[in-house]
Amino acid sequence: MKIESLSGLTENVLKKGLDASALRQRVTAQNVSNINTPGFKRSSVSFEENLNQALKQKDSLDRRGSVGEVNARVVKDQRTTMRSDQNNVDIDIEMLTLSSNQIKYNSMIQLLSDRYGMMRYVINEGRR
């Protein structure tokens, strides 16, 4: 049996989600570090919308392939500025993004750990 066959849709979604969460953490940290840089435009990470579209595929094989093609991408926010120096970083929004991202990341890690724990249990009990 191939290892790829053990990795299902759920594991792929969790792995992609963890990658997106790590990218979101780096992007948000960059926004916070440039809060006083004149003219700096904040960035955000777009991932969940594309993932939802991929998961809405009717056929499970198409869905699995579509999820494999979904990647997080960084989007620069060019909206009107909040301050006179043309910087649009709001520390409250960035801190909220960091805390919610941390909760999502921890949840995904726990789910992935549980799934691997079940696989480890099945493998170890199968040896007896």
Neighbours of 21 (CB within 10 A): 21
| Bigger pLDDT: 29 vs 3 | 29
Q: Judging by beta carbons within 10 Å of its beta carbon (0-12, 13-18, 19+), is residue 16 exposed, middle or buried? A: buried
- pLDDT on residue 43: 96
Whether 7 has a pLDDT exceeding 70, the answer reads no
Residue burial 90-119, b: 16+ Cβ < 10 Å; e: rest: eeeebeebeeebeebbeebeeebeeeeeee
Which tokens hold the place of 55? Answer: 């998961």
Task: Kindly report whether the global pTM for this prediction surpasses the value 0.85.
Answer: no
CA 40, CA 90: separation in Å to the nearest integer?
Answer: 12
